[in-house]
């Protein structure tokens, strides 16, 4: 009898964990899209109703998002989408520049023709978005370009760190890539990064990636 009870409890725990993971993914997407704005409280009752779950998974997902750096908890008030201070933002941009530079230097020494073909296609798609004035799609492809470089670098820890930092920076980044001139400048730098990776020059690839991310920081500062 005890064995059956243990099995039932294990199944319940797995289902609960799976539900929490699903809610975590959904809440993360809402935050990164800006559906829940920085500084806004995560209303457990509203979110549980909207997502069709009990308040428990919402509460647990909020704890996971706090570990991710996207949410902060205030005693007796609840969980809030993180508002980055100026110091937070500058630190995150600098860290991302360093991590991205390392990822690009790694990829420059190991990129396959398949990797390069994928990155070339993304750069072209971004150019198509510029030509057709599709800012939202450009923003999404820009994120994908850098995410794929981190993954293709073969440095799994680096990819995880870059992804975590990128999510936090996305709390304030969307306004950076606005307008034709900004997108064109950004994609020209993507071409420089890609050319450096294609050349197999790790130092040049690191420098191009770091410059691109630091320029992103400067563009963000100019929006303040």
Judgement on whether residues 29 and 77 belong to the same structural domain of the protein? yes
Phi-psi region of 43 (alpha: psi -120 to 50; beta: other; left: phi over 0): beta
Residue pLDDT, tens place only, 21-43: 999 999 999 998 889 988 999 99
Tokens of 34: 């800006």
**What whole-number distance in Å separates Cα of residue 68 and Cα of residue 66?**
5
Q: What band does 2 get if pLDDT is binned at 50, 70 and 90?
A: very low
CATH no. for residue 60? Answer: 1.10.10.10
Q: What is the pLDDT of residue 175?
A: 55
Range of the domain at 196: 86-222
Residue pLDDT, tens place only, 123-154: 999 999 999 999 989 989 999 999 999 999 99
Residue 214: name the closest of 178, 184, 186 by CA.
186
Q: What is the pLDDT of residue 182?
A: 87
Any long-range contacts for 132-141 (C-beta under 8 Å, 24+ apart)?
133/180, 135/177, 135/178, 135/179, 135/183, 138/177, 138/183, 139/174, 139/177
Judgement on whether residues 123 and 206 belong to the same structural domain of the protein? yes
Q: What are the φ and ψ backbone dihedral angles of 73, each rounded to 5 degrees?
A: -105, 140
Q: What is the pLDDT of residue 7?
A: 45
**What whole-number distance in Å separates Cα of residue 116 and Cα of residue 193?**
11
pTM, two decimal places: 0.80
Of the three residues 23, 55, 81, the one that is the final residue of a domain is 81
When divided into structural domains, the chain yields a total of 2
Of the three residues 46, 81, 116, the one that is the final residue of a domain is 81
The arithmetic mean of pLDDT across residues 169-174, rounded, is: 74
**What whole-number distance in Å separates Cα of residue 147 and Cα of residue 142?**
9
Indicate if the pLDDT at residue 54 is higher than 70: yes
């Amino acid at each position: 009898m005890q064995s059956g009870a243990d099995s039932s409890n294990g199944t319940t725990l797995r289902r609960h964990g799976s539900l929490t993971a699903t809610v975590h993914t959904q809440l993360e997407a809402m935050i990164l899209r800006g559906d829940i704005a920085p500084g806004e409280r995560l209303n457990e009752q509203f979110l549980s109703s909207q997502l069709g779950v009990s308040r428990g998974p919402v509460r647990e997902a909020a704890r996971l998002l706090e570990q991710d750096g996207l949410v902060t908890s205030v005693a007796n008030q609840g969980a809030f989408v993180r508002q980055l201070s100026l110091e937070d933002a500058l630190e995150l941009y600098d860290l991302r520049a360093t991590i991205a530079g390392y990822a690009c230097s790694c990829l420059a020494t190991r990129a396959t023709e398949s990797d390069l073909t994928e990155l070339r296609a993304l750069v072209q798609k971004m150019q198509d978005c510029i030509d057709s004035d599709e800012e939202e799609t450009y923003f999404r492809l820009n994120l994908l370009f850098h995410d794929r470089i981190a993954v293709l670098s073969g440095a799994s820890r680096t990819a995880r760190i870059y992804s975590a930092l990128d999510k936090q920076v996305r709390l304030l980044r969307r306004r950076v890539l606005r307008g034709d001139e900004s997108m064109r400048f950004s994609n020209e730098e993507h071409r420089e990064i890609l050319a450096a990776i294609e050349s197999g020059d790790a130092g040049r690839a690191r420098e191009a990636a770091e410059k691109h991310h630091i320029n992103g920081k400067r563009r963000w500062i100019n929006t303040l």
